Amino acid sequence: MARLTLVTGGARSGKSSFAVELALKRYSRRVFIATALPLDEEMKKRILKHREERGDRFRTIEEPVDLEKALNALPSDTEVAVVDCLTVWLGNFYHHLDEDEVMVRSRMEGFLKTLDRPSCDLILVTNEVGWGIVPENAMARSYRDMLGFLNHRIAEKADHVYLLCCGIPVTLKGDSTHGA
The residue annotated as part of the active site, out of 50, 95, 152, 178, is 50
Between the alpha carbon of residue 13 and those of residues 8, 18, 94, 165, 169, the distances in Å are 9, 9, 24, 6, 9
Distance from C-alpha of 93 to C-alpha of 40, rounded to nearest angstrom:
18
CA torsion, ordered 34, 40, 41, 45, to nearest 10 deg = -10
Q: Is the bond into 85 cis (omega within 30 degrees of 0)? A: yes
Is position 96 annotated as part of the catalytic site?
Answer: no
Q: Which residues are catalytic?
A: 50
